[in-house]
Amino acid sequence: MERKPFQVTLSPGSVPENPVKSLWMIWEQSRCDDSVEVMELRYNRLMKGDNQPESDFPVDNKHPNDRFRVMLEMEIPIVEFIHFSFILDNIPVSFREHLVRHRVGTKIGPQSGVDDDPGVTDASFWSQTSRVRDLQNFVDNGFYYTPELDNTELKPISISKGSPDVPSGLTDLEVYHKSLESVQWGYRELRSRGYKPEICRELLPSSTTHRIAWHVNLKSLKHIFSHRSCWIAMANYWHPVIRGVMSELMKIDPVFSALATPPCIDRQTNKFKSCSFAHENAQRLSKKDPGIPCSLWIHQEAGGMDKNYDSMFSVPGDHELFTEMSADFQTFWCRNVTTGNPI
């Protein structure tokens, strides 16, 4: 069976009733002496588009959606007030190892801790356990992750003593799947001999998928996405999860589209600043790395398409892939992929 795709769901009961209103009210109370009731009336009138006399507005007041977008794009601490709990399905153990390193800070006790990214608060995780989960059919059920394996040509197999009985020629992908099936066989065999899942799980590879709950505040989510919405930064792992999170949040309000802002965009000006992965992009442009270089880097730092066209598309299929990725990222970022400007 083919592997099950990543899936992201907002945990029922964890969805803020109105995050735009919540943050607007928190911001507003710091800018005026009005009662909560008066601020709420002003919020409702603003949302309806009613004209109001200037005296109703504190200094530098903005429409709630505009204010919310500014808070997402800028480093404004009050976004820590908004929390979400997501259920991530079919996440490989290898990605979990990467995800939990974004737990920004380690608490030693109530009075002390270690913070490797000052100013950004913790995320919390709680994963499905393989100690009690019976995974005798993890391959058959599609509970595994498949990385990119480029070679689809048959290759001879070197059979050494103790190797499994395999055909004389397999593609890279077939070798991968054959290995997973071998692990599945070993798991089943131990289970048939009376061993519990907590023993058999020691055989499982890091490609085995499971479910994990992820509780995170909006500031931490923004911090993570600002690094991981990049064209090339661990895209195979992160982008399906980011897209899933974005899809769920935009059901609450479309203004959450501002979260998928790549790290090359300056938070003050909302314009392209500089590429954090210029070396990697240059390697891709020179074909020392087989990947596709970022459109923003090509246009903003490498002289544009005209200068780099021949070297970029020397490999068959690269032009089509670049076009497809550009269209995909323009939708993902809600930005022009040549200028970086918001759409």
Distance CA 215, CA 126 (A): 9
Q: At 287, is the secondary structure helix, strand, or coil?
A: coil
* pLDDT exceeds cutoff 70 at 111: no
Distance CA 269, CA 335 (A): 14
Burial group, residue 147, by CB count within 10 angstroms (0-12, 13-18, 19+): exposed
Residue 97 pLDDT: 80
> Which segment of 1-15, 82-96, 122-136, 173-187 scores lowest on mean pLDDT?
1-15
> Which segment of 148-152, 267-271, 288-292 scores lowest on mean pLDDT?
148-152
Span 129-150, average pLDDT:
88
Task: State the average pLDDT for the chain.
Answer: 82
Span 325-342, average pLDDT:
89
**Cβ neighbours for 112, distance < 8 A, ≥ 6 positions apart:** none
φ, ψ of residue 10 to 5 degrees: the values are: -70, 130
How many residues are present in the chain? 343
Alpha carbon distances (Å) from 268 to 69, 303, 336: 13, 25, 18
- Long-range CB contacts (< 8 A, 24+ apart) of 254-257? 255/20, 255/65, 255/68, 255/69, 255/72, 256/72, 257/334
Tell me the pLDDT tens digit for each residue of 218-269.
888 888 887 778 888 656 778 788 889 988 998 888 888 878 888 898 877 8
Distance CA 287, CA 311 (A): 8
Residue 274 pLDDT: 93
Output the CA angle 203-91-163, nearest 5 degrees.
Answer: 30
> Which segment of 25-29, 109-113, 145-149, 183-187 scores lowest on mean pLDDT?
109-113
Span 177-199, average pLDDT:
95
* pLDDT exceeds cutoff 80 at 53: no
Q: How confident is the model at residue 165 (pLDDT cuts 50, 70, 90)?
A: low
Output the CA angle 215-65-264, nearest 5 degrees.
Answer: 65
* pLDDT exceeds cutoff 70 at 215: yes
Distance CA 110, CA 270 (A): 38
Distance CA 229, CA 222 (A): 10
CA 36 to chain centre: 36
Q: How confident is the model at residue 144 (pLDDT cuts 50, 70, 90)?
A: very high
Q: At 11, is the secondary structure helix, strand, or coil?
A: coil
pLDDT top residue among 106 and 81: 81
pTM above 0.85, yes or no: no
